[in-house]
Structure 1
Amino acid sequence: MDIIWADSAGVPAGDRGLAYGDGLFETIRMQGTQGVLLQGHMTRMMAGAAMLGIPLTASQLSEVIRQAVARYAATGDWVLKLVLTRGVGGRGYRPADDVLPNLIVSSAPMPPLPGADGVVVATSAVQLTVNPQLAGIKTLNRLEQVLASRELTDDLYEVLMADPSGDLVEGTRTNLLANVNGCWQTAPTRQLAVAGVMRDYVVRTLKQQGERVELTAIAPSVLDPDVCSGLYLMNSLIGVVPVRRLDGRDLPVDRTLATIFNPLDLVEPQV
C-alpha cells in the first residue's frame, strides 16, 4: 500500500478512485491524539475494503493513523480524513490483479458546530437509491449527496433525503433518529448510503438502556408534534443534534441526547 500525504504529494492521474470512485473514505473527529469512536471508524473501513476487495490490514491502518497523529496532531479538535483507493492499474473498469492500493491522508480544522437550540433542515428533491451490495459502506460514490447538497442555503444546516416511497432515510452527511410515541426510529443499514459509526453507537446504547428502537425509515407523517417528540441528526463530528424546523414547520426540541452522546466523551486512543 502506498501512503499519499495530501499536504506534500498529489494523487496519480490514473488512480481508480479518481477515475471510477473505486474506493472508500473515513472522516474522523480527533481530539489531540485521540479519535471519536476511532475503533468504529477503523472497523467500518476494514469492512468496506473487504467488500470492495481492496487489501487492507488492521496493522496497516493503525500504523497510518499513528503516523497521521504524529504529523498533524495539535491540541483541541481537528479532522483526520482517510481515502482508500484501489490504486492505479487495469483497463477500463476491470482492475489489474496486482494493483497497489493508495491511502490518501489529510487533516482539516474542525468545522463550526451547530447551536444548542437545534438546526433548520429541508427535504431534498433528490431521491436516495441504495445498491444493496453497497448499503452502509462509505464509498467514494457520493453523487446523490453532492446533488442534494447543492440545495443547501445559508439558513439550512442539512437537507434530508427520502427513498423511492417518500420516507426519510438520511441527510447528505448525517443519519436520522426520531422519537415517535416513545419509540426511537432510524433507517436500517440496508436502506442507508452510509451507516454512521455514531448511529451504530447510539442505537446500541439505547438498546442496552432498555429503550425501544425500531429500524425503519421515517415516514413524514410520524413527525406530527402529537406523536413525535424529536427528530435528530447524527454523525461522529457533531454527535446528536436536534432539528427544530423541517420544511418551514417547527418541531419539538430536546437536548437530552446531545448531552448523553457528546462526541468528546467518546474519544479513543490510537491503537
Structure 2
Amino acid sequence: MSLVVRPSPAIWVDGEPATALPIPDRGLDFGDGLFETLLVRQGQPVLLDYHLQRLQHGIEALAFPDCLPRARDHLASACKQLIGTPWAALRLTVTRGAGPRGYAPPERVVPRTIITSAPLQQDRDELSAPITLGWAEVAWSIQPRLAGIKHLNRLEQVLAANEARALGVDEVVMLDARGLVCSVSAANLFLVEDGRLLTPSLEYVGIAGTRRRLVIEQLAPALNIEVVQRDVHAAQLEQAAELFCCNAIRGLQPVSRLGEQHWQDHPVCSALHAGYREAVAC
C-alpha cells in the first residue's frame, strides 16, 4: 500500500502555520500544560471524543480557563490538512501561554495551542508485532491531583525509555513509588488472569489512556470479558496468561517476553484487536 509522505512535520500555533515555537511559554518553562497524541486516518481523528474528554479533565485539573472549544477548532483545521494521508500522528499541546518569571501563573491566562503532525508508514489496521519488555528502575511519582491527565511533565517516562534502549527491549514496565505496577513508559498495560483482564488502577498515578478506555468500555464487554481495575503486583505479570500494551498510535501490542517469561500465543489480544479495527475505521 502506497502512502502519501509529507516532507516534514507540520506545525500550527494558535491555529496558524508556524515554523518556530513562541517564547516565553509556561509549557516550555515549567511543563505547565497538557497534550494529546491522536491517530488520524485520512484527516479523521480516531476516538476524538475520548481525547477531548481527557483534555477537558486536564484543563479543569490545572485550572486553565475554558479553552477546549478553541483547541477543538484548531485541531479540526489541522486535520483538514491531513486529508489524503492514510495515517498520521498528530500532537495537540495546550499550554498556559506566556507569563512573568516565577511559578505563579499570570492573573490573566491566555492558553496557547501548538499542533504538530507527521505521517505514519505502518498500516495501523494490523495487529502490532509482539514486543519485549524489561523492568524500569525509575518509578512513577505519586500525585493524585494529576492522576489520569496527560500533562507535559514526562521526565520519568524519558528516563524509562532510555532504560529500555539500554536493556535492548521495546518497552519497560514502570512501578510507582509504592512498588505497584503502573504502566510501560508510553502505554497502558493489561494482563489476562483467570479469564479476566486486569489493569492497574489510576487512582493515584498514571495516564488514563484512550485505548485503555476503549478496551474497558467497549472491546472487552463485546467479548463478555470482565475487566478489573485494581492494584497489580510485579509478580502477577510474570504469572499472567497473557500481557498486552496499548496506546493511541501503536494500538494493541501483545507482549512476547518479560524478563525470563515468554508468551507465544496471544488469543485475547488478537480477539480484542478485531473490535479495535472497527473502532479505528472512522
Amino acid at match of 1:89: G
Structural mapping, 1:52-91, within 5 Å: 52-91=62-101
* In the alignment, structure 1 residue 216 sits paired with structure 2 residue 226: no
TM-score (norm 2): 0.85
Amino acid at match of 2:237: L
Quote the residue 2:157 is aligned against: 145
Q: After the TM superposition, which segments of 4 or more aligned residues of structure 1 sit over 6 Å from their partners? A: none
Structural mapping, 1:1-271, within 5 Å: 3=14, 8-110=18-120, 116-153=128-165, 155-205=168-218, 206-207=220-221, 209-225=223-239, 228-261=240-273, 263-267=276-280
CA deviation string 1:219-243 (max 9, x = no partner): 2222345xx2101101121222111
SS of equivalent residue, structure 1 residue 202: helix
Q: Structure 1's 123 and 111: CA in aligned 2 closer, same or farther, altered over 3 A?
A: farther
Moved more, 72-81 or 122-131: 72-81
Contact 1:38 1:267 in 2 (8 A): no
Structure 2 portions without partners, runs of 5+: 1-12
- State the 1:108 CA deviation: 1.3
Q: Structure 1's 42 and 194: CA in aligned 2 closer, same or farther, altered over 3 A?
A: same
TM-score (norm 1): 0.88
Q: Structure 1's 164 and 89: CA in aligned 2 closer, same or farther, altered over 3 A?
A: closer
Contact 2:99 2:105 in 1 (8 A): yes
Structure 1 portions without partners, runs of 5+: none
What's the RMSD between the two structures over aligned residues? 2.4
Contact 2:33 2:93 in 1 (8 A): yes
Aligned residues: 265
- State the 1:257 CA deviation: 2.5
Percent identity, please.
30
Amino acid at match of 1:3: D
